């Protein structure tokens, strides 16, 4: 039997070692790669879950802001029809936005950004409503104060005029002037179709002028017709379509309406309706009452 060369034996053992170690190395590498892939996948899933959670929180916060804005719109009110119509439209937009965001997935970033912009726009619109309502309220308050001042000044002027008239009448003869019928308590009110007293111009159906012919034993008894001249805030005489007119002194004046009463020297209360007026506008209406002898007095009415 031949003896194996020592060098050949060494080379043969080296070849056997390499042949046995190759598959083990490949297996180790594959295990390492699998572990790395698993770790990477776990990290990606963690990141995804974290992002989805954050997006859901953002959606909840955005939804809460929109619902709060909806509540602010519901609590906002106005006395002006034009603004109320605009408010109704904006309330509908907010309600639709609430429904849309509830149906949208939190991961739809494009839609979420769009809803944020719409929320900002609706907030700006609401701030505009608040400023507009505040300005109108301030203006309305100023007009009310001005109207009150005007009525007070008019009352003072009427009182002064009555005092001066009384002085003149006293100087020119008590008998002559004393026979002229006078009136007191002249007042003008507005009513709707249901017969309710109101002060809003858009609901006015008719005006009512009331006054009392005061007691005067020197006045000639018999039928007395009282005429009223009602003017709108622009100074135009209202016409009920009957073409009523009367003569005062040497002047013929058109009247809005009139009524005849039986005056026997005792105090007589009477009411005169102003009907058939197409529409009424906001502002101060004035009324003057007359007989064919003299002017009885006047009053004012503020319609909002």
Examine residue 69 and state whether it is found in any structural domain, yes or no: yes
DSSP 105-153: -TT-HHHHHHHHHHHHHHHHHHHHHHHHHHHHHHHHHHHHHHHHHHHHH
Per-residue pLDDT at 267: 93
Same domain, 194 and 293: yes
Residue, of 299 and 35, whose pLDDT is higher: 299
Same domain, 124 and 22: yes
Examine residue 62 and state whether it is found in any structural domain, yes or no: yes
Per-residue pLDDT at 107: 73
Mean pLDDT across 104-120: 79
Q: Output b/e per residue, 130-145; b: 16+ Cβ within 10 A.
A: eeebeeeeeeeeeeee
Per-residue pLDDT at 270: 94
- What CATH number has the domain bearing residue 263? 2.60.40.10
Provide the residue range defining the domain that includes 263: 181-303
């Amino acid at each position: 039997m031949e003896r194996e060369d020592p060098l050949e034996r060494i080379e043969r053992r080296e070849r056997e070692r390499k042949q046995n170690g190759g598959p083990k190395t490949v297996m180790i590498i594959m295990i390492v790669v699998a572990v790395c892939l698993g770790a990477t996948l776990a990290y990606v899933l963690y990141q995804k879950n974290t992002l989805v959670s954050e997006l859901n929180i953002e959606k909840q916060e955005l939804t809460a802001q929109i619902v709060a804005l909806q509540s602010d719109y519901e609590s906002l009110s106005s006395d002006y029809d034009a603004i109320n119509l605009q408010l109704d439209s904006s309330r509908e937009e907010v309600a639709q936005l609430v429904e849309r965001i509830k149906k949208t997935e939190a991961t739809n970033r494009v839609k979420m950004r769009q809803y944020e912009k719409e929320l900002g726009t609706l907030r700006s619109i609401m701030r505009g409503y608040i400023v507009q309502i505040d300005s109108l309220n301030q203006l309305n308050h100023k007009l009310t104060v001005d109207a009150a001042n005007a009525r007070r000044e008019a009352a003072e002027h009427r009182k002064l005029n009555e005092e001066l008239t009384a002085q003149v009448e006293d100087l020119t003869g008590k008998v002559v002037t004393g026979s002229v019928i006078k009136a007191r308590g002249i007042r003008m009110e507005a009513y709707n179709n249901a017969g309710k007293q109101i002060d809003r111009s858009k609901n006015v159906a008719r005006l009512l002028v009331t006054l009392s012919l005061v007691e005067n034993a020197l006045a000639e008894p018999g039928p007395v017709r009282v005429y009223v001249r009602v003017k709108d805030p622009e100074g135009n005489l209202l016409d009920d379509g009957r073409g009523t007119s009367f003569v005062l002194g040497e002047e013929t004046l058109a009247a809005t309406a009139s009524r005849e009463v039986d005056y026997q020297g005792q105090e007589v209360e009477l009411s005169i309706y102003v009907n058939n007026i197409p529409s009424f506008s906001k502002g101060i209406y004035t009324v003057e009452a007359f007989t064919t002898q003299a002017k009885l007095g006047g009053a004012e009415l503020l319609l909002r």
